[in-house]
């Protein structure tokens, strides 16, 4: 029995997108508001607690899930275009995202009108991945699968390959910070594109499973198997602790701390273990959420329908709230104008911040405030499909 491309199926993708977008805001609020963010790494087993660790850890699912779903969505968009048209669209959208990262998004993160800390972060990696995908779509799906798997499973072989001072290699794999113009500017490479380009490409390869004539039960079975296999491989490689992460997990004085280390694989750049740990559960959720419906599903799906729009405005809102909090607590709003590092690196903000419950309270407030805005924009996009520029938002 075939399963038509129903509204529920499309909403399962929007639902997962919306969930990770909402969760993502929690991490960004923690960056700007949580007191320990200015003292230690929230996933450092030597200093953190489980509530703080989980608050950071749960947001690890955001970037890989969204990158994968961006590839899947690209395939679905391509169903309405020729291969050449899809390739052109992906190329132009990729360039657009990189431009937005270096301008609108960087301004949102740092509030520095001089752009002294240009950062290559999430949107940059999505943009570059789309440019690569623009070329890959001309290949057979099987070839793209091979390319994606080789890069995802083999990129940790490059962990010991370094080209000191090379911005190109940093952007491709290593990441890093590059001061220039007598340290006035600092280029921050947080998201090197390997293996992110493969994550998006792999998502594209899952697109045929969502063809309108594809059997729904078979699709769910395949995605469940892939998701379960990813989790199983994560457990096996973690137990061996020899490959799949540049540093591997470490033994600590307590079992609790050691378990934190196990569940804290490298994210910058994303190791194989990081991708297995995050993508496995995400795929299982995607496979088993097709028939979910109701007000809660609609709530989260709203954010998933306008992810780029939501991403931009939520950073500005969070940073503006942090500026008000800094002013209120005596640190001054200017301390939230950041350059030469990340939020937690600002010396003027040492001693600033609030307890974890405040982070969650602000998170709920931000999501509730943004929902009607995103709902209105989502409705506008649906009712104005003829406007080509909306596809870039």
pLDDT tens-place string over residues 99-155: 999 999 999 999 999 998 888 999 999 999 999 999 999 999 999 999 999 999 999
**d(C-alpha 265, C-alpha 278), whole Å:** 10
**d(C-alpha 221, C-alpha 229), whole Å:** 12
Q: What is the pLDDT of residues 10-22, one digit of tens each?
A: 688 999 999 999 9
pLDDT > 60? residue 9: no
Q: What is the pLDDT of residues 193-214, one digit of tens each?
A: 999 999 999 999 999 999 888 8
- Answer with the residue of higher pLDDT: 342 or 313: 313
Asked if residue 297 belongs to a domain, the reply is: yes
Q: What pLDDT sits at residue 153?
A: 97
Mean pLDDT of 59-87: 94
pLDDT > 80? residue 341: no
pLDDT > 90? residue 390: no
Q: Which domain holds residue 291?
A: 7-392
Asked if residue 2 belongs to a domain, the reply is: no
Q: What pLDDT sits at residue 2?
A: 39
Asked if residue 234 belongs to a domain, the reply is: yes
CB-based contact 26:59 (threshold 8 Å): yes
β-partners of residue 189 are 120, 176
**d(C-alpha 280, C-alpha 225), whole Å:** 9
Q: What pLDDT sits at residue 8?
A: 44
**d(C-alpha 388, C-alpha 393), whole Å:** 10
Q: What pLDDT sits at residue 261?
A: 96
Cα torsion angle, 97, 208, 132, 138, sign: negative
Q: What pLDDT sits at residue 54?
A: 96
Q: What pLDDT sits at residue 3?
A: 44
DSSP string, 26-38: HHHHHHHHBGGGG
- Answer with the residue of higher pLDDT: 387 or 57: 57
pLDDT > 90? residue 371: yes
Asked if residue 347 belongs to a domain, the reply is: yes
Of 29, 18, 17, 20, residue with least CA distance to 366: 29
pLDDT > 80? residue 273: yes
Q: What pLDDT sits at residue 108?
A: 95
- DSSP annotation of 271 reads P
* Proportion of the chain above pLDDT 90, given as a percent: 80
Q: How confident is the model at residue 6 (pLDDT cuts 50, 70, 90)?
A: very low
Q: What pLDDT sits at residue 386?
A: 74
Domain count, the chain: 1
Average pLDDT of the chain, as a whole number: 92
Q: How confident is the model at residue 4 (pLDDT cuts 50, 70, 90)?
A: very low
Q: What is the pLDDT of residues 28-69, one digit of tens each?
A: 999 999 999 888 889 999 999 999 999 999 999 999 999 999
* Proportion of the chain above pLDDT 70, given as a percent: 97
Q: What pLDDT sits at residue 339?
A: 84
């Amino acid at each position: 029995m075939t399963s038509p491309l129903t509204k529920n199926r499309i909403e399962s993708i929007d639902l997962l997108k919306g969930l990770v977008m909402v969760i993502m805001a929690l991490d960004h609020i923690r960056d700007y508001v949580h007191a320990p963010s200015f003292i230690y790494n929230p996933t450092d087993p030597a200093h953190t607690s489980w509530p703080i660790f989980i608050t950071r850890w749960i947001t690890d699912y955001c970037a890989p899930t969204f990158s994968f779903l961006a590839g899947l969505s690209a395939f679905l968009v391509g169903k309405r275009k020729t291969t050449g048209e899809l390739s052109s669209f992906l190329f132009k959208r990729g360039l657009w995202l990189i431009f937005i990262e270096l301008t609108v998004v960087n301004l949102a993160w740092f509030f520095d009108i001089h752009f002294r800390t240009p950062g290559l972060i999430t949107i940059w990696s999505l943009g570059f991945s789309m440019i690569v995908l623009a070329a890959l779509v001309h290949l057979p799906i099987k070839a793209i699968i091979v390319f994606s798997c080789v890069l995802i499973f083999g990129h940790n072989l490059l962990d010991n390959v370094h080209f000191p001072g090379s911005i190109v290699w940093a952007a491709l794999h290593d990441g890093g910070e590059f001061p220039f113009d007598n340290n006035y500017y600092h280029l921050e490479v947080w998201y090197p594109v390997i293996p992110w380009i493969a994550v998006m490409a792999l998502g594209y390869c899952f697109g045929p499973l969502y063809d309108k004539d594809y059997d729904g039960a078979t699709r769910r079975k395949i995605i469940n198997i892939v998701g379960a296999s990813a989790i199983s491989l994560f457990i096996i490689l973690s137990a061996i602790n020899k490959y799949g992460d540049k540093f591997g997990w470490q033994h600590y004085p307590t079992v609790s701390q050691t378990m934190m280390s196990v569940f804290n694989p490298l994210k910058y750049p994303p190791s194989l273990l990081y991708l297995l740990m995050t993508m496995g559960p995400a795929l299982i959720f995607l496979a088993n959420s097709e028939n979910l419906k109701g007000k809660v599903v609609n709530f989260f799906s709203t954010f998933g329908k306008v992810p780029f729009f939501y991403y931009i405005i939520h950073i500005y809102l969070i940073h503006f709230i942090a500026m008000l909090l800094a002013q209120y607590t005596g640190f001054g709003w200017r301390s939230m104008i950041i350059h030469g590092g990340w939020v937690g690196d600002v010396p003027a903000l040492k001693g600033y911040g609030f307890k974890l419950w405040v982070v969650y309270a602000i998170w709920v407030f931000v999501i509730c405030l943004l929902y009607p805005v995103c709902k209105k924009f989502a409705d506008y996009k649906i009712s104005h499909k003829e406007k080509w520029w909306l596809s870039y938002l």
